[in-house]
Amino acid sequence: MNNLSVIEKIKGNTLSKTLIYITLFLLFWIIIYMNLELLTNSLVYNVLGLNPEEHLTQAIWFFIFEVPKVLLLLTLIVFGIGIIRTYFSPERTRKLLGGKKTFAGNILASLLGVVTPFCSCSAIPLFLGFIEGGVPLGVTFSFLIAAPMINEVALILLFGLFGWETALLYMTTGLLIAILAGTIIGKLGLEKFVEDWVYKTKAADIEQEEEKLSFNDRIQLGITAVKEIVSKVWIYIVIGILVGAGIHGYVPENFMASFMGKSAWWSVPSAVLLGIPMYSNAAGIIPIVQALLAKGASLGTVLAFMMAVIGLSLPEMIILKKVLKIQMIFIFIGIMAIGITVVGYLFNLLY
């Protein structure tokens, strides 16, 4: 109710007023972000008077610094993506992808998967809508793989905690998996494994009135996205950083190194196998990722685990079973598992 009343207030504003608020917010954001290290230093060392040499101080410093940093990044990027997404509706994406058969279609679908608004509960209507609208099966899969796997929360967390190189690599490899898996599914001609009724149903023409959004509307939709996402994931972020902080000040143990480290060749495939039936959203998995990495697991193994958990899940397969035959589901899982395993080995080689 609280959120609603704020939205009501903003709604009454004119564009110029909204722009003033946004500018003020951005200024505030930049000032805090640029000075976060100074603020943390003075809080930890001067106000709290802690000894910089102690492990506990380092852990507290890490926590006080990282929580606002990641939340600031999250707010800004979710806001930006929220606005970008108002320009992409699934209907528009379907039109862009209709009839595209080649590799180019898979690339476009994967990229659109990142910016088109997507919620896993809409996966089935979206799948059906695409297929019935003439989007090839392989291209549809590229979209359905990219959409949940490459999301802003995962990227921001990777960026905030492990640096931009890791975030970029995650995005690039995620896109590659989506493009390649979709291409292979398209090449294999698996249409026969889609439940028959799907191709018999004809997409009804939408009578929905075309939405005309003003720029003001788009900004407000961006704000709504921030409220929706930040209120859902902040707790996971705090837990993740808490785990990270708990380990940060202390010497990392090599507890996981023997079975999730680089030297164990079977660590990547077993992490993938373990991750497939598990399900969590991107935010929920981060605390686990933090803990594993800090205990000596290698980045490739952990990323493979993370991708398997986010990209493939038992509940998702059960939902997909409504439209896909069981053979198709196994092929889908197989292709994804191989792709993710390759990415895992690649990261282990690179780092």
Partner 1 sequence: MISVKILGVGCPKCRNLEAKVKELLVKNNIEAEVTKVDDIAKIMGYGIMMTPGLVINEKVKSSGIIPKEEQILNWLKEN
State in angstroms the smallest separation of the CB of 297 from partner 1.
34
Residue of 53, 196, 205, 210 that binds partner 1 (CB under 8 A): 205
Q: Which is nearer to partner 1, 17 or 95 (CB)?
A: 95
121 contacts partner 1 (rule: CB under 8 A): yes
User: Does residue 246 touch partner 1 according to CB under 8 A?
Assistant: no
315 binds partner 1 (CB under 8 A): no
CB neighbour list of residue 191: distance below 8 Å, 6 or more residues apart: 137, 199
What DSSP line would sit under 23-82, residue for residue? Answer: HHHHHHHHHHHHTHHHHHHIIIIIIS---TTSHHHHHHHHHHHHHHHHHHHHHHHHHHHH
204 interacts with partner 1 by CB under 8 A: yes
- Number of residues lying near partner 1 (CB under 8 A): 26
318 contacts partner 1 (rule: CB under 8 A): no
Q: Which residue has the tokens 């395993």?
A: 341
Residue for token pair 């960026």: 159
Instruction: Answer for the pair 305, 336: CB distance below 8 angstroms, yes or no.
Output: no
- Restricted to residues 128-147, the positions that interact with partner 1 (CB under 8 A) are 128-130, 132
Of 53 and 207, CB closest to partner 1: 207
Site string for partner 1, 80-119 (x = CB under 8 A): ---------xxx--x----------------------x-x
CB of 125 to partner 1, least distance (A): 5
SS3 track for 213-243: CCHHHHHHHHHHHHHHHHHHHHHHHHHHHHH
Give 262's contacts (C-beta < 8 A, 6+ positions apart).
Answer: 298, 300, 301, 348
Give the shortest CB-128-to-partner 1 separation in angstroms.
5
- Contacting range for partner 1; rule: CB under 8 A; set: 49-57, 160-168, 196-204, 288-296: 196-204
